[in-house]
Amino acid sequence: MHISMNPWVWIGVFFTFSVLSFLYKDNPFYKLAEHVTVGVSIGYGLVIWWTNSVIPRFYIPVFEQGQWILIIPAILGLMMVLRIVPKYSWLSRYAICFSVGAGSGMAIPRSMQAQVLRQLEATMLNLSFTSGAGINNIIIFFGVLTVLVYFFFSKEHKGVFGGVAKVGIWFLMIGFGATFGYTVMARLSLFIGRVLFVLQDFLGINLAG
């Protein structure tokens, strides 16, 4: 064991345990870590915003390349800031409507393409009982169909329709369970990462042997 002398590692360990202390109950160490995160995130965002956005996407195109037209969206963006001035907050609507309208216009064909047609295309599989892949395709096909029936609320879930919808619930439950299991494992791997940081980086324990 060889404890690290790097002050940054000590700071990292301090904040790791400060956050973990929340498992006991909310306490000043956790609150400190929480506010430090907010502050550091804002500072980080400011630097990235300035160096990666303002300079290359606005300052250089406008003042060095003469794309003065970009002053118009800049004014629209500044109108968004007027949201915090009650008397002129309505001016922010121009920027919001510009962005929301364009976003909605883009969303209709793209959503149709990526989330509806592509998904339908991927469901039109080769169905057969003669191979494992064919049986899996049948399960996927009927699974999609039953889930869609379950989400169809314009007709009462009764009789055959209700029975099909119930099968859809089974598929959804298995899907939620799988997603849950996957999420838990992802969180656990993050936790393992923090434990390894304390054991290896801080305490200097060589786990590889």
Residues 82-121 that bind another protein (CB under 8 A): 83-84, 89-90, 92-112, 114-116, 119-120
Nearest approach in angstroms of CB 162 to another protein is: 14
Show the binding pattern over residues 180-209: x = contacts another protein (CB under 8 A), - = does not: xxxxxx-xx-xx-xx--x------------
- Footprint of another protein on 31-70 (CB under 8 A): 31-47, 49-51, 53-54, 57-58, 61, 70
The DSSP symbol for 114 reads I
Nearest to 16 by CA among 201, 209, 205: 201
Q: How far apart are CA 65 and CA 30, in angstroms?
A: 48
Dist. CA 139–CA 121, nearest whole Å? 16
148 binds another protein (CB under 8 A): yes
Residue 89 DSSP code:
G
Round to whole Å and give the CA distance between 206 and 202.
11
Q: Interface with another protein includes 123 (CB under 8 A)?
A: yes
Q: Nearest approach, Cβ of 121 to another protein (angstroms)?
A: 11
Out of 26, 63, 68, 77, the only residue in the binding site for another protein (CB under 8 A) is: 77
- Residues with Cβ within 8 Å of residue 61, at least 6 apart in sequence: 67, 70
Closest approach, Cβ 129 to another protein, in A, equals: 15
